[in-house]
Structure 1
Amino acid sequence: MTATVTEPVVAPRLSKKFRLQWEDAQHAWVLLYPEGMVKLNQSAGEILSRCNGERTLTELVADLEQTFDTTGLQADVVAFLRMARQQLWIEY
C-alpha cells in the first residue's frame, strides 16, 4: 500500500532531484534543479524546509503551528504537500 499525504505518520522529504536553499538575492527559499529554479513563497519555503524524511505530517504541522503561534494549519499543509508531490518536489 502506498502512503498518502493525509496519513499522520507520513514523513515527506525533498526529492533528490531538487535542492532547497535560501537565496539572499531573491529574499526567498528556492528549489534548484538542473533545468532551473523555482522561487517559493514564504509558506512553501517554510513547509519544504521541514520536509526532511524524519518529521511526520503531524510533527511538521505542530512545528509550523508552534513557530508561527497559530493553529489549524493541517488542511493547508496537506494541500500544499499534495501539490508538491504532483510536481515531484517531495517523496515519501
Structure 2
Amino acid sequence: MAEHEQASLHCLVFGRVQGVGFRFFVQDRARELGLVGWVRNRPDGRSVEVYAEGPRSALEQLRHALHSGPPGAWVERVECTWGEATGAQRAFEIRRT
C-alpha cells in the first residue's frame, strides 16, 4: 500500500483511557493530521474506540499516538485493524454513543 493511499484504521484502546481527556486528545491529533472519522468511549468503562480515514502515513502517526495518549492516561494495549477508506466521513468527531 502506498504511503499516500487512502485507508481506514479501526482501533480499540484499553487501559485508563476514560475520564482523562483521551477522546479530545485523539480528536486534536486526528485533525492535526488531516484525518476524518470518530472516537468514542466504550460502555465497558475501560476502553475507547477510534475509527479514522486518510493517508496511510497519517494513520500510522495517529496509531502511534494512541499508545501514549494525554497526561493522566495509561494505555494497556491497542488493537488495530486496517481497511479501505469508505469516504463516508467528512470530519473527525467525538461520538457520545
Same fold (TM over 0.5): no
Q: Would you tell me which structure has more helix in proportion to its own residues?
A: 1
TM-score where L is the length of structure 2: 0.32
Q: Would you tell me which structure has more strand in proportion to its own residues?
A: 2
Choose 1 or 2 for highest CA Rg: 1
